[in-house]
Structure 1
């Protein structure tokens, strides 16, 4: 049986203290074939010294670029990746054992899905504080739900390579590039599959709890505005007189019926604190 190749893209900036554990967590996965594409986004620490311990492995590809941000690093990695499926791993996050094999098996069984994502736990770097993801997750056509808030962490995502013909990462965004990317896929009707299992550990750094809040808030507002524009464009195409219009009408009805059933978005379970806030209080 020929197994699908999976490429894991790791963008790294000044991650010398953490990237070793990230790489170890991928290299010990029980799926083959796989390749790891590391993109050094202009690091000024000793990242390359650490990476020399791994570059002998034929599964590892490496490229260094000037510092142009995480979106550029990911897009650069995509150009080098050769797998049929793509995963992402932040340089300070960790894949749990069996993550790739279980997620790929689930994706190949659900052939209609283009994107898979899993549950995750979040840990505060340098402490023993850990919280489970507080988000409510959705499968299928998730556009109506993800336009309100991003509940998917990219270190849990696996997707088909051909989806990058629909969208790539916006290099003009300083952050929230993941939400923007997933919004564009969901707006296009790509189906998502949620794997209800913790298969990634996500690092939260203490400095993230208080730094760059202005940039993060401004960028979140920008992506939120894009979400509203996408939703407006979607609704404007609802019509009983065209194939696309009928498709959008069916999607809209399904969104509204399901949202009413679960009390979205007004139920308290949808109005929760981010993992970083929970860690700060724990």
Structure 2
């Protein structure tokens, strides 16, 4: 018989979105599921309670005093009768085949009870805009399945994870002292030293809305910074070298990841100090110069970055850290044409000349449309920012951009 899966939905004052979450859990194509809803002491005059009770015996419903989301998830874990657990936030949605595809991947892997995770998409409610997140654009499948790499480098969403019950016995439950980062901290613990399974399909929709915890919790920024310090202090030097090629490069990769993250503040200063403390042999030197020949096709005379936004600026920094310089920007936004951005000229794609001598690197979260646009313009040399990031991840740069 196929293993039973317990889908645990913690909710606090959740009548805005909880029905969508519960319905998505009930409508799974995988039949052997139970849906556990835990009301974490909602104070909305019984509205959440009434909404949950309207499902009758289709769900298992529990009420408890308010204690935070970690306490609610832990309560659900303690009540589960399944072999696997899947946490679904009350404002998120599972695709109908989420559990079926992940159970199939777990059973087919040959591994003993691996954690399974996947791609997902964001839904910005205020703009009614969906954006698919393809983690394979920036990381390899091997990286995403390697120990705690995914939670360490923010390459996993907690509501995509499928966790076997044995892991709770092995590493414990969610840390109830954490109000905003409990999922990342738990996944770091449970995945460390183990191989996980990454399913490439997008299997969960994560809402972005003004009421979500990251927007409203005053403790989020403090916990966020302390979490990364904890990760750095917990991992051994050997683990850091394994992930990034050198200890210096480990701290530098984390620094680049968090540099443009709004909650990051004290962690950046911590990482700068760690970079200065690293052994001299770990620091940037001339050993990376030969990479330029491998990164840029023969005959290329100019490099253009397509996308003059934040990601483009990050790519420009990356290129410069490896001794490469861009000749300019390409962007579809006409208001940017004939302007200088970071000292480089910006033009439209129709102004491209001698394209056979140019390399165009697309710096966008979803580069697929722009890649097709360049192909229609008969552009020969196209790469994405993710292509470069994956190839350079474990290579110490020539120059640090701090």
* TM-score range relative to shorter protein: 0.7 to 0.9
Q: Post-superposition shift, 1:133?
A: 2.1
Match of 2:74 in 1: 75
3-state SS, counterpart of residue 10 of structure 1:
strand
Match of 2:179 in 1: 174
* Cα separation, 1, equivalents of 2:10 and 2:165: 17
Count of aligned pairs:
252
Specify whether residues 257 and 37 from structure 1 end up closer, same or farther in structure 2 by C-alpha distance, changes over 3 A only.
same
Q: Structure 2 length normalisation: TM-score? A: 0.57
Specify whether residues 92 and 39 from structure 1 end up closer, same or farther in structure 2 by C-alpha distance, changes over 3 A only.
same
* Cα separation, 2, equivalents of 1:81 and 1:215: 30
Q: Post-superposition shift, 1:225?
A: 1.9
Answer yes or no: is 1:255 the counterpart of 2:243: yes
Specify whether residues 177 and 222 from structure 1 end up closer, same or farther in structure 2 by C-alpha distance, changes over 3 A only.
same
3-state SS, counterpart of residue 25 of structure 1:
helix
**Map 1:143-154 → 2, pairs under 5 A:** 143-144=148-149, 146-147=151-152, 149-154=153-158
Does the CA-based 8 Å contact 1:3-1:32 persist in structure 2?
A: no
Higher RCO, 1 vs 2 (CA within 8 Å, ≥6 residues apart): 1
Consecutive unaligned residues of structure 2, counting only runs of 5 or more, are 263-309, 311-402
Match of 2:348 in 1: none
Answer yes or no: is 1:197 the counterpart of 2:201: yes
Among 216, 223, 228, the residue aligned to 2:220: 216
* Cα separation, 2, equivalents of 1:258 and 1:109: 34
Does the CA-based 8 Å contact 1:13-1:41 persist in structure 2?
A: yes
Match of 2:2 in 1: 3
3-state SS, counterpart of residue 56 of structure 1:
helix
Q: Post-superposition shift, 1:272?
A: 7.1
Specify whether residues 25 and 114 from structure 1 end up closer, same or farther in structure 2 by C-alpha distance, changes over 3 A only.
same
* Cα separation, 2, equivalents of 1:222 and 1:273: 14
Specify whether residues 221 and 269 from structure 1 end up closer, same or farther in structure 2 by C-alpha distance, changes over 3 A only.
closer
* Cα separation, 2, equivalents of 1:193 and 1:146: 14
Post-superposition CA distance 1:199-231 (Å, at most 9, x none):
110011135598446521100112112111211
Q: Structure 1 length normalisation: TM-score? A: 0.79
* Cα separation, 2, equivalents of 1:270 and 1:102: 32
3-state SS, counterpart of residue 174 of structure 1:
coil
Specify whether residues 84 and 208 from structure 1 end up closer, same or farther in structure 2 by C-alpha distance, changes over 3 A only.
closer
Does the CA-based 8 Å contact 1:114-1:163 persist in structure 2?
A: no
**Map 1:259-274 → 2, pairs under 5 A:** 265=253
* Cα separation, 2, equivalents of 1:271 and 1:192: 28
Consecutive unaligned residues of structure 1, counting only runs of 5 or more, are 236-248
Post-superposition CA distance 1:83-137 (Å, at most 9, x none):
1111110001101121110111011111326211111111122441222226445
Does the CA-based 8 Å contact 1:75-1:169 persist in structure 2?
A: yes
Specify whether residues 24 and 139 from structure 1 end up closer, same or farther in structure 2 by C-alpha distance, changes over 3 A only.
same
Answer yes or no: is 1:130 the counterpart of 2:130: yes
The structure that has the greater radius of gyration is 2
3-state SS, counterpart of residue 199 of structure 1:
strand
Q: Post-superposition shift, 1:159?
A: 1.4
3-state SS, counterpart of residue 23 of structure 1:
helix
Does the CA-based 8 Å contact 1:118-1:199 persist in structure 2?
A: yes
Specify whether residues 272 and 157 from structure 1 end up closer, same or farther in structure 2 by C-alpha distance, changes over 3 A only.
farther
Match of 2:57 in 1: 56
* Cα separation, 1, equivalents of 2:14 and 2:211: 15
Match of 1:114 in 2: 114
3-state SS, counterpart of residue 119 of structure 1:
strand
Does the CA-based 8 Å contact 2:180-2:214 persist in structure 1?
A: no
Match of 1:241 in 2: none
Specify whether residues 220 and 51 from structure 1 end up closer, same or farther in structure 2 by C-alpha distance, changes over 3 A only.
same
RMSD of the TM alignment (CA)? 3.0
Does the CA-based 8 Å contact 2:120-2:134 persist in structure 1?
A: no
* Cα separation, 1, equivalents of 2:217 and 2:11: 21
